[in-house]
Structure 1
Amino acid sequence: MRMIGQDSLKTRRTLSVDGKTYHYFSLPEAAKSIGDVTRLPYSLKVLLENVLRFEDGRSYTVDDAKSIAGWLPAGHSEKEVPFRPSRILLQDFTGVPAVVDLAAMRDGIISLGGDPRKVNPLLPVDLVIDHSVMVDYSGTAAALQKNVDVEFQRNGERYEFLRWGQSAFDNFRVVPPGTGICHQVNLEYLAQVVWTAQDTGDTFVYPDSCYGTDSHTTMVNGLGVLGWGVGGIEAEAAMLGQPIAMLIPDVIGFKLTGKLREGVTATDLVLTVTQMLRKKGVVGKFVEFYGSGLDDLALADRATIGNMAPEYGATCGFFPVDAMTIGYLKLSGRDEHRIKLVEDYCRAQGMWRDATTPDPVFTDTLELDMATVEPSLAGPKRPQDRVALSNAAPAFAKDLAAGTMGVPGDKASLRVPVEGANYDLGHGDVVIAAITSCTNTSNPYVMLAAGLVAQKAVARGLTVKPWVKTSLAPGSQVVTEYLDKSGLSKDLDALGFQTVGYGCTTCIGNSGPLEDAIVDAIENNKLVAASVLSGNRNFEGRVHANVRANYLASPPLVVAYALAGSITLDITKEPLGNGSDGKPVYLKDIWPTQKEVNDTVHACVTREMFLDRYGDVFKGPEQWQAIKVDADSDTYRWNSGSTYVQNPPYFEGMTAEVKPVSSIHGARVLAELADSITTDHISPAGNIRKSSPAGEYLLEHQVRQDDFNSYGARRGNHQVMMRGTFANIRIKNEMVPGTEGGVSKHYPSGEVAPIYDVAMKYKAEGVPLVVFGGKEYGTGSSRDWAAKGTFLLGVKAVIAESFERIHRSNLVGMGVLPLVFMNGEDRKSLGITGDEVVDILGLESITPRQTLDVVIHRADGTEVRTKVLSRIDTADEVEYYKNGGILHYVLRGMAKAA
């Protein structure tokens, strides 16, 4: 793919580094024609460079560059510009279906008369297998090896498919299982800050930028790499050379000043930032950090903040490149020449931040003195619901007594014996304590702090409560290196925090089983069990089906709560337990000083560790190397008996020419949903229940329940995934009051059944479907199948009060209409009950953000007419919708080009 356009503004310049010449497109030179960009936010400078580099007078124009420069001084724009990232990052849950779609496109292009070898990623793509390890075994030295063995046994079909993809597709690499979490591998190894590529015999240098099929791709913004999460659908289009059009975002400046106080961690800081930005309202916006506080803010702390952008709702949380960036590149083993190139290029482009550079102009700002941050948790249901550590126990007790957790007030103090054990359980007892997820395991300061807490606890004779399932899942093997070097691994091991695997575990629901007796006690008595995890997500039903109260916390607090055993204990005042001398031990007794943490980090985290652990990163363990693949086949030989990978039906019956779009008539309502429905509610995630449609499908295909694995692991099989769409155990369909879980009602029969069964009955009857929703429809992750599953169930439109950015885009990418109520109306004001018939008119002449007419026919024969706003936002999206989806659009283009 060409890296350069026609350069109408004559901005191409050269840069010499260590005698090597690089070509680049100069922002200072462009400013002579389009206006001063000195105080443009650093993140928007990346967008501007992208336009200059690809400018061709068609997809990228000089007017696009002028639009970005013209963002100043107002700090806002209604203009749309294209963006093409430097590379794509996939994790295996979202990456497998992306590769499945590419394989299906190779079959599809053959049916249109094209060459399958034309279907290749045109940008560099890295897939990191990190979401498949589950905590089946924990608390023993053998846990890691046992979990790895089970992982390969469960996922052999998926891994064989990925090995084929690695050999079949150009520009596609796979980082094998057991390496680490994709975002941490990205931060520590894959990201380069500036990227280079050959074109027309010259070497070009430009900003590293990244699309990822995981929302926490934003972590790499801590390194000065602009990146954010997109759905697998968007990522596939970008891989295939499609620029993604986007409105030039508002940029919210977040000024950081001061320093964290003694005893306060980066996790406490990020939970505070998340709460502040959620309150501010930054959905669809960039957040860029600035201020004197950046001068001493460690790169790992920046990455922790950048990681949580999905939780505070922003597209990204960006930190400019500065001396701290360079220091991290050196520590993490990056090439010395590349490090020098990063600094020289950023200085030449006005992309370098230091104490002398003027603050950018922002759309709006807010400020935090880091000295005011206090120890915190977030929960029990949302990451933005920060609660001070000192108030965690009272807040839980208040919620419990108020009945908001589904427990009658007179049952709040209930405790029940656990069969076969010498302890009892009550509401708020912590049954899972997990150090996991990219948010914190990328940060040696909080990881080593956890080790120091463990060391001091062991020295005092404290032990973890017997009902707590403990686990440590490092984000990379480097974490193990520095925990071992510091001697703290043995103390974590002594408390049951043995390494269970390298990957994303509890944070995505791969927490594994609890003991049967504990599950029975919880289920039989409707206990509100708790988890404490160092993760970034704690939505209902996500961590574990039997755990209703979930709290995000720093790794050292995870250890502390494992010792305390209950969220009802105020660990700022009450003892965690009695030591070996019989005396009470308090949190302050085992909490390390900041000097202890800093000294340990500086002594034990070295450049050599990164060089060693990433020296042969693509080799993988023996099990990976032993997988045999058909490396000579251009197309994948689908196995009809596979329950993991199947050829999806997206391109069945596809014609070379586009069929005209028509209005939707006679649609029935599949679901009526409240505010803040997340993609975790919509998309299949977590364990597969035996009684669910997906479970029944697997049983019909002779899969034992023990081998069901998770929905995430089976994302390559549309038959499983469509059966799990809208099947979250906590989702509430207002069409069926008093129910919880994925059920719907069929009309006119009135039959109540699982959503999948109702959708298939409508499909057999030839009836199109709509979904009604509230505010913030589609927040969260798991986004590709939230759209794909919706499409496969036969849903033609989703009508809501507002949409999350990526889910809206993915619905369009699958040919599903996202529509927004107008004039203050919503499903309640319109009196929607679910028995209506819906017409959506005006689609024959669809244009961006068009107002459409909706006719709602009630069961009593009356009708209501209203207007909705189509959230097909851009001209490109109109074309995607007309083609039936973005992949259809790309495939038709490839076939014609052939």
Structure 2
Amino acid sequence: MANPNSFGSKSTLSVGGTDYTVYRIDTVAGHERLPFSLKVLLENLLRTEDGANVTKEQIESLGSWVADSEPSTEIQFTPARVVMQDFTGVPCIVDLATMREAVAELGGDPKRINPLAPAELVIDHSVIADLFGSPDALERNVEIEYERNGERYQFLRWGQTAFDDFKVVPPGTGIVHQVNIENLAKVTYSRTFGGELTAYPDTVVGTDSHTTMVNGLGVLGWGVGGIEAEAAMLGQPVSMLIPRVVGFKLTGEIPAGVTATDVVLTITDMLRKHGVVGKFVEFYGTGVASVPLANRATIGNMSPEFGSTAAIFPVDDVTLDYLRFTGRPDETVALVEAYSKEQGLWHDPSVEPTYSEYLELDLSTVVPSIAGPKRPQDRIELTAAKSQFEVDLQNYAAAPAKDTVDEAVEGSFPASDPGAITPDTENEVVEAARPATTRISKPVDVTVDGETFELDHGHVAIAAITSCTNTSNPSVMLAAGLLARNAVAKGLESKPWVKTTMAPGSKVVTDYYEKAGLWGDLESLGFYLVGYGCTTCIGNSGPLKEEISASVNDNDLAVTAVLSGNRNFEGRINPDVKMNYLASPPLVIAYALAGTMDFDFAQQPLGKGKDGEDVFLADIWPSADEVQATIDGSIDTEMFTQQYAAVFDGDERWKSLPTPDGDVFEWDAQSTYVRKPPYFEGMTMDPAPVTDITGARVLAKLGDSVTTDHISPAGSIKADSPAGQYLTEHGVDRKDFNSYGSRRGNHEVMIRGTFANIRLKNLLLDGVEGGYTRDFTTEAGDQAFIYDASQHYQEQGIPLVVLGGKEYGSGSSRDWAAKGTNLLGVKAVITESFERIHRSNLIGMGVVPLQFPAGETWETLGLDGTEEISITGLEQLNEGVTPKTLTVVATPTAHSPEGKQTVEFDAVVRIDTPGEADYYRNGGILQYVLRSLV
């Protein structure tokens, strides 16, 4: 459909002798007061206006945006491109391959299924740190990676040849978000449409929530489910409400001794407390110019951790300098500057846009911090890390004897005033009264490689420099290298029980470490290169040494991990590790030297130096001047141009992989990695009518902050789990199980791993952790694996629901958290609140998201999960009406306690836009797209 150009915005911009078609923002009334991010959306609507999906009224609504109003106006955003990593990207390509077959079965041309927007996939999630602490760790880990993932890699190579506009960055290159900012991102895109070379803002959606890292470069983008990404690749716009925009003013400069990691943990803490879920965050003010691009990217990266959709910096001279520095062509930089200034997208610190809400941070007030033991927003000032660890350990290790607690309480409160004792005051008394000798401790002797040492609660089992958040930032990476140099010079060593790993986000990091002469010092402390990928941050930490793992499990020790990542959720990092902490790269090394979280860097020495004197962290911490001098002397543009010159080519292993051909993929019936999913089986051109949900049972009753890490299959596959049993039945040896992430292209494995996290607490059961539920198809409602119970329910035609609490589905934008929910037979999820991406993904898989009435929970309503659930009112969708509420009736069953009453309430329907209603009516977004294309 042609662009009606209702505002006369189409114009021409000449840069360096080349003419570009542009769509001028200043033709829309009200544009000048819009935040940077909404100006980008405004241009997007002007350029894609078609009178149907994108209308004149939508554009006017955005121009007249009311900052303090709640989001209510739907717009259709068309991203310039899609970026993926291999865990979430493989299912996308599997689905596209399956859609080609489905199109053929419906009488269409399979080649119609083809990316219409450029798509790039970076293989970065498959390398596991199996080997560490040795010079050949990288080579061996890559060999193992290819052995494990050959089938997947062959499939992706087929996709690269079968689909147009789809490129793959091979393994061993870097982390998707670092490769994105260092090479793939354009800031201003140019592409030919209808014979016209058009310039427009680079925008992106990605299948990983940390796609927001590119926000630091002035590129608007965020993570979406793989389901939405597939639709975007196929030309479908992303349906969204015009968001609230939070203005975050930066002033001052970072003080000495403080890192970009400390800044981002402080911002995460502030924004979580403020509440920014579903909003854009935009940084502005005089302090912006003093924030290096790498620090901006670090802040943007953590957007999912504080819950915002995006966290963007505007374009300015810092942006241009970074583009030049990373080897972008001169004509690209010239276009970015000219286009940004012409469109009013250039940052002017003297102009303050209108924002919905305002926050401010004086960077000079930031102090060194870590975050943990289970959420990125749980910031702890480093000076309080030891005392906070002692408090947190109570939740992970055996508590002191009851009489110790009783004595402390009885000695502090008079018997005549029992009302003085509350849970809070009791905890305060217990902590205050607890003498040092009663601190929880459980030392165990362990012998590894002939060396015997004590292992105890809090000991650091993993110290990992990993993850896109920090490995893209030379200031913290070189600070880590310099700290290592200073530690080695003093004669310090990492503790023998610490698994030390180094996984940079791109090969440029290796280059500048070599030029600075720091590799030897890092390796002296055990930080050998283990791979270029996400590793520890996504659960690919690899196993601990057998003797340490056995001691941890046999003695139920609460050991810890310290990583320079962005995620530290329970059960994510390593199955043997209960407590996980985020820290800057230099602090990761410091904790490897300390060997325990039960440590005060200000008061306790890291060890004795060669001269016999105590060495403290302050003695080896590099100065800001030293770090900057090392950056200036060891990083240059040639490193970027050389490493990215052949970024899509790969090494000999990649090039020599046998590559299938043909427009339609030939599925291997024996494959345990890539299988044809069942989403389109029996599909017809006309969708079946929506029906109400009757006679449903509760599959899981969950509490607050259940993340997609609890829901989506991730990490290692246990032998006795349903997924492990499936692989064993299909002839796969235990050593070859690989991870859930690597097997995302096999729905049979993934459905068995949904809701199977070892730390999941399904409150249908008392005190049980893991992927279990009560199976109400049995007379007694016996305990069973969630997958097994689901199969029994589906065999009997019984629909399922999930009950949840606050922030349900926060975490990574994982399509399998929704796909698995759907394939388990769940028809509705009822919670107190949803995370944005997961709510959208549930609709995309045909599962209706509902919320309890304001102020109510499953607990206050008296739901215990034994009831039979009916949900009525959904059938209104067949008439084109999206109901605001549905009636939920929970009726007692034979499994319910005696005397239990029927509960009825009105649940809020979280189908937020007409587009989402269309997806739900069609049974999901893929079915909607497929029908549209045919």
Confirm or deny a common fold (TM above 0.5): yes
- Partner residue, 1:702: 731
- Partner residue, 1:463: 493
Cα deviation 1:274-328 (Å, max 9, x = unaligned): 0000000000000000111111110000000000000000001000000100000
- Partner residue, 2:466: 436
2:396 to 399, 405, 424: 405
1:638 aligns to 2:629 (yes or no): no
SS at match of 2:79: coil
Query: After the TM superposition, which residues 299-378 of structure 1 pair with which residues of structure 2 at under 5 Å, given as runs?
Result: 299-356=293-350, 358-378=351-371
Distance 2:713 2:664 in 1: 28
CA contact (8 A) 1:849 1:871 kept: no
Moved more, 303-312 or 828-837: 828-837
1:582 aligns to 2:620 (yes or no): no
Give the direction of change, closer, same or farther, for the CA distance of 1:819–1:76 in structure 2 (3 Å limit): closer
1:878 to 917, 926, 929: 917
Question: TM-score normalized by structure 1?
Answer: 0.97
- Partner residue, 1:679: 708
- Partner residue, 1:595: 625
SS at match of 2:697: strand
Q: Which amino acid aligns with 2:184?
A: L
Moved more, 472-481 or 413-422: 413-422
- Partner residue, 2:905: 866
Distance 2:849 2:69 in 1: 28
SS at match of 2:395: coil
- Partner residue, 2:682: 653
- Partner residue, 2:814: 783
1:250 aligns to 2:244 (yes or no): yes
Structure 1 position 490, deviation (Å): 1.3
- Partner residue, 2:412: none
- Partner residue, 1:806: 837
Structure 1 position 74, deviation (Å): 4.0
Structure 1 position 419, deviation (Å): 3.9
Distance 2:701 2:275 in 1: 25
- Partner residue, 1:19: 17
Distance 1:311 1:694 in 2: 29
Distance 1:187 1:409 in 2: 50
SS at match of 2:742: helix
Structure 1 position 782, deviation (Å): 5.2
Q: Which amino acid aligns with 2:163?
A: F
Structure 1 position 894, deviation (Å): 1.4
Moved more, 4-13 or 39-48: 4-13
Distance 2:286 2:826 in 1: 50
Q: Which amino acid aligns with 2:445?
A: P
Distance 2:45 2:924 in 1: 25
Give the direction of change, closer, same or farther, for the CA distance of 1:525–1:643 in structure 2 (3 Å limit): same
1:663 aligns to 2:692 (yes or no): yes
Distance 1:540 1:175 in 2: 31
Aligned-residue CA RMSD (Å): 1.1
SS at match of 1:155: helix
1:63 aligns to 2:54 (yes or no): no
Distance 1:125 1:677 in 2: 31
Structure 1 position 61, deviation (Å): 0.8
Distance 1:309 1:725 in 2: 25
1:414 aligns to 2:442 (yes or no): yes
SS at match of 1:852: strand
Moved more, 381-390 or 843-852: 843-852
Distance 1:823 1:482 in 2: 54
CA contact (8 A) 1:258 1:369 kept: yes
CA contact (8 A) 1:71 1:77 kept: no
SS at match of 1:100: helix
Distance 1:836 1:285 in 2: 36
Structure 1 position 748, deviation (Å): 4.7
- Partner residue, 1:554: 584
SS at match of 1:710: coil
Q: Which amino acid aligns with 1:880?
A: Y
Distance 2:738 2:813 in 1: 17
SS at match of 1:547: coil
CA contact (8 A) 1:383 1:536 kept: yes
CA contact (8 A) 2:373 2:392 kept: no
Structure 1 position 73, deviation (Å): 5.3
CA contact (8 A) 2:224 2:813 kept: no
Structure 1 position 823, deviation (Å): 3.8
1:738 to 743, 747, 767: 767
Q: What are structure 2's unaligned runs of at least 5 residues?
A: 402-438
1:155 aligns to 2:149 (yes or no): yes
SS at match of 2:531: coil
Q: What are structure 1's unaligned runs of at least 5 residues?
A: none
Moved more, 855-864 or 721-730: 855-864
Q: Which amino acid aligns with 1:382?
A: R
1:446 aligns to 2:439 (yes or no): no
SS at match of 2:31: coil
Query: After the TM superposition, which residues 721-732 of structure 1 pair with which residues of structure 2 at under 5 Å, given as runs?
Result: 721-732=750-761
SS at match of 1:423: strand
Structure 1 position 607, deviation (Å): 0.6
Query: After the TM superposition, which residues 14-413 of structure 1 pair with which residues of structure 2 at under 5 Å, given as runs?
Result: 14-28=12-26, 30-31=27-28, 35-72=29-66, 74=68, 77-356=71-350, 358-400=351-393, 403-409=394-400, 412-413=440-441
Structure 1 position 75, deviation (Å): 6.0
SS at match of 2:248: strand
Q: Which amino acid aligns with 2:443?
A: R
SS at match of 1:776: coil
Q: Which amino acid aligns with 2:571?
A: G
SS at match of 2:58: helix
Distance 2:109 2:282 in 1: 44
1:793 aligns to 2:824 (yes or no): yes
Q: Which amino acid aligns with 2:765?
A: V
Structure 1 position 120, deviation (Å): 0.4
The alignment covers a number of residue pairs equal to 885
Distance 2:724 2:482 in 1: 44
- Partner residue, 2:601: 571
2:802 to 759, 764, 771: 771
CA contact (8 A) 1:75 1:362 kept: no
Distance 2:611 2:736 in 1: 47
CA contact (8 A) 1:680 1:782 kept: no
Q: Which amino acid aligns with 1:825?
A: E
CA contact (8 A) 2:155 2:660 kept: no
Distance 1:596 1:803 in 2: 46
Distance 1:75 1:659 in 2: 37
Distance 2:149 2:658 in 1: 14
Structure 1 position 375, deviation (Å): 0.4
Distance 1:36 1:408 in 2: 61
Give the direction of change, closer, same or farther, for the CA distance of 1:789–1:91 in structure 2 (3 Å limit): same
Give the direction of change, closer, same or farther, for the CA distance of 1:353–1:782 in structure 2 (3 Å limit): closer
Q: Which amino acid aligns with 1:829?
A: T
Moved more, 884-893 or 574-583: 574-583
Distance 2:854 2:118 in 1: 45
Structure 1 position 359, deviation (Å): 1.1
Cα deviation 1:444-499 (Å, max 9, x = unaligned): 00000000000001111111100000000000000101111110111111111111
SS at match of 2:622: coil
Distance 1:238 1:671 in 2: 32
SS at match of 1:735: coil
Structure 1 position 584, deviation (Å): 1.3
CA contact (8 A) 1:157 1:644 kept: yes
- Partner residue, 1:854: 888
Q: Which amino acid aligns with 1:386?
A: R
Query: After the TM superposition, which residues 879-894 of structure 1 pair with which residues of structure 2 at under 5 Å, given as runs?
Result: 879-894=918-933
Structure 1 position 849, deviation (Å): 5.4
SS at match of 2:798: coil
SS at match of 2:33: coil
SS at match of 1:840: strand
